[in-house]
Chain A
Amino acid sequence: MLEIKELTKSFGGLIAVNRVSLKAREGGILALIGPNGAGKTTIFNLITGVSQPDEGAIFFQGRRINRLLPFQIAALGISRTFQNLELFTNLTVVENVMVGAYRKSRAGFWKSVFRRPGATKEDRLLYQEALGLLDQLGLTLYADEPAGNLPFGQQRLLEIARALAARPKILLLDEPAAGLNPNESRELAVFLRGLVNQGYSLILVEHDMETVMSLADEVVVMNFGTVIASGEPGEVQQNTEVIAAYLGEEEEEAC
């Protein structure tokens, strides 16, 4: 459903992504793993049009999408969360989700100028849907809190709720489990698996190996901007190059 071909992107002299190709199947969970700076977030930015690749192409449902603007790509059905959290901190939690659903609403600028605000049928529906999503992610309690006041882990969950509100076909999750405790992580994994059963496709960037291995159908391992291994979780775990890359990182993190 989403296919990346020979994607290359460099910043200044530094090659962040080097001829990366990968394929996300419909109804599957693809995990992108690798040490910090391996180029995972860059791939997300390229897919969502935040930055433009130097070379290569991205196809979504057979349509080439690089060179489209970020909002156009999102409108095609690609939603994402941000690793470094980009919540609308000046809105409440439920409002964040409602804004996420905005593109489907019929509230046009000029229409809004002449219509009394207050709860239209559509807005009420939007609100109900938003509450439903919050409920699924266990955020109902916080619905009317300013989004910026949420604990870190819950902010990540809200990012997911907001991305889902846009009714995507594929969801890109950038480290969704960071900041969650092991219990919450497991709950999240169950939730994400549930999404796949509902027909969503997922690509996730994750550090937490347990989540990745239990969840992913396919794993792509990156290091220094290139794909060093890919396959089913079990296969990848045995790959020596992968083990080396990860051991190397753990040493770095230890210092």
Chain B
Amino acid sequence: MGFKKNLLLFAVVIFVFCLPIVVESSYYMSIFIVIGLYAIVAQGLGLLMGWAGQVSFGQAAFYGLGAYTAAILATRCQWPPLLCVFVAPLLPSVIAFIIGRPILKLRQHYLVLATLGFGIFVFVMLKDLGALTGGPSGLTGIPYLNIGSIIFMTDHQYFYLVWCALGLTLFCMANLTRSPIGRVFKAIHSSERAAEAVGIDTASLKLQAFVLSAFLAGLAGALYAFWVTFISPSPFGFTTSVEFALMVVVGGLGTLWGPVLGAAIIVGLTEFLRWAVPVALPHAGGEFEIIFFGIIFVLIMLFRPKGLLSIEKSSMAVNNPATLRSTDA
């Protein structure tokens, strides 16, 4: 079984490697770059939602914080871009660490609202701390990323960089979820009380997952900044947060490749809709594709509700007769 899996993995690597050679159009290359970037964010969010059982509707804030930190360090402090890519994700990680402990204590609705509120807070800050962030018009003049003498200027070059980062992310995620920690996360999913009762600090594990998810979002943000070389607040708003959550849910929770698949589906769909809808409705403008995202979201929740926040496709705990027994007061 290991051989088949390895073969498949090898095929995927070859496919990704050959993609820029086969695809000439810069437009298609840029779509693949966006998929790679979003997949990195979705990996982190997938860990949070699928394994740690928490939800975040503010992930775009970490993505934005990574992008802005990288951009500010590179333009105002003149740091070498490669250093910025490594340093920038630390800010969202530290922020996640600080807010994580109290926020992750919240349940259900309250967690959704608190993360959503945090996302909007950061978005407003990016727009209104003009002196630092350039305000609504954004930051320009971000240099190209270079590693030694290789300058990542074209989309074809950047594709390799982003997908290498994604590969590394997948490697780390595979390590984590297949380690004893992955098993512990599954256990927490099943019964948090029992996990606590054998001495597992569940709050701390959830916090660590939250911090890692913020780090990955920040990393993707930093890579984004050096790719587009110009950033404004608009890609880091609530809609993007919803898209990230959608990618994770569409791809399937608790799976390694799900977030990648989800990112590909959502980015692909966005591009398709941006092309198709104006053909059908010539006067349409703006981000109307969110209609379809909303509908997809609702449909998935309606027809695959068990898929959400559960590692298995169907929750076994429901059938356990023990859960039906009442407790002794």
In the complex, are there CB atoms of A and B closer than 8 Å?
yes
**Which A residues lie at the B interface, using CB under 8 A?**
11, 14, 16, 36-37, 39-42, 48, 50, 69-71, 74-75, 79-80, 82-91, 95-96, 98-103, 105, 107-110, 112-118, 123, 126, 146, 148, 152, 155, 162-163, 165-166
Q: Which residues of A contact B191 (CB under 8 A)?
A: 86-88
- CB distance A48 to B198 under 8 Å? no
B101 to chain A, nearest CB (A): 12
Given contacts A70-B196, A85-B322, A86-B194, contact A109 B176 (CB under 8 A): yes
State the CA gap A221–B90 with chains docked (Å): 57
- CB distance A107 to B179 under 8 Å? yes
B18 beta carbon closer than 8 Å to chain A: no
State the CA gap A82–B325 with chains docked (Å): 12
Mask: chain B, 179-203; 1 = CB below 8 Å from A; 0 = not: 1111110110111011111111111
State the CA gap A162–B194 with chains docked (Å): 10
State the CA gap A83–B329 with chains docked (Å): 11
Interface range on chain B: under 10, 10 to 19, 20 to 34, or 35 or more? 35 or more
Cross-interface CB contact of A89 among B178, B180, B320, cutoff 8 Å: B320
Given contacts A113-B175, A163-B197, contact A87 B190 (CB under 8 A): yes
Q: Which residues of A contact B189 (CB under 8 A)?
A: 90
Cross-interface CB contact of A146 among B174, B176, B181, B316, cutoff 8 Å: B316
- CB distance B176 to A112 under 8 Å? yes
Given contacts A41-B328, A162-B198, contact A89 B317 (CB under 8 A): yes
B326 beta carbon closer than 8 Å to chain A: yes
B6 beta carbon closer than 8 Å to chain A: no
A196 to chain B, nearest CB (A): 21
17 more A-B contacts (CB under 8 A) besides A85-B320, A90-B186, A99-B198? Answer: A37-B328, A50-B193, A69-B196, A69-B203, A74-B198, A82-B194, A89-B190, A90-B189, A91-B187, A98-B180, A98-B183, A102-B198, A109-B208, A112-B182, A114-B175, A146-B316, A165-B198
- CB distance A86 to B184 under 8 Å? no
Q: Which residues of B contact A165 (CB under 8 A)?
A: 198
Q: Which residues of B contact A103 (CB under 8 A)?
A: 198-200
Cross-interface CB contact of A112 among B181, B195, B197, B327, cutoff 8 Å: B181
- CB distance B190 to A107 under 8 Å? no
Given contacts A71-B196, A90-B190, contact A11 B317 (CB under 8 A): no
B328 to chain A, nearest CB (A): 4
10 A-B pairs in the complex with CB atoms less than 8 angstroms apart:
A36-B328, A82-B193, A86-B193, A86-B197, A90-B312, A91-B183, A96-B187, A99-B184, A99-B195, A113-B175
- CB distance B199 to A87 under 8 Å? no
State the CA gap A166–B179 with chains docked (Å): 19
Given contacts A79-B198, A80-B197, A102-B180, contact A88 B175 (CB under 8 A): no
State the CA gap A241–B120 with chains docked (Å): 64
Q: Which residues of B contact A86 (CB under 8 A)?
A: 191, 193-194, 197, 322
- CB distance B190 to A74 under 8 Å? no
B279 beta carbon closer than 8 Å to chain A: no
- CB distance A37 to B322 under 8 Å? no
- CB distance B327 to A41 under 8 Å? yes
- CB distance A84 to B322 under 8 Å? yes
- Which residue of B has the minimal Cβ distance to A163? B198
- CB distance A91 to B320 under 8 Å? no
Cross-interface CB contact of B325 among A84, A87, A95, A105, cutoff 8 Å: A84
State the CA gap A101–B199 with chains docked (Å): 9
B172 beta carbon closer than 8 Å to chain A: yes
- CB distance A71 to B199 under 8 Å? yes
Cross-interface CB contact of B197 among A16, A37, A79, A115, cutoff 8 Å: A79
State the CA gap A84–B328 with chains docked (Å): 9
State the CA gap A67–B260 with chains docked (Å): 43
B212 beta carbon closer than 8 Å to chain A: yes
B323 beta carbon closer than 8 Å to chain A: yes
Q: Which residues of A contact B203 (CB under 8 A)?
A: 69
- CB distance A148 to B319 under 8 Å? yes
Q: Which residues of A contact B19 (CB under 8 A)?
A: none
State the CA gap A86–B187 with chains docked (Å): 10
Q: Which residues of A contact B208 (CB under 8 A)?
A: 109-110
State the CA gap A241–B184 with chains docked (Å): 46
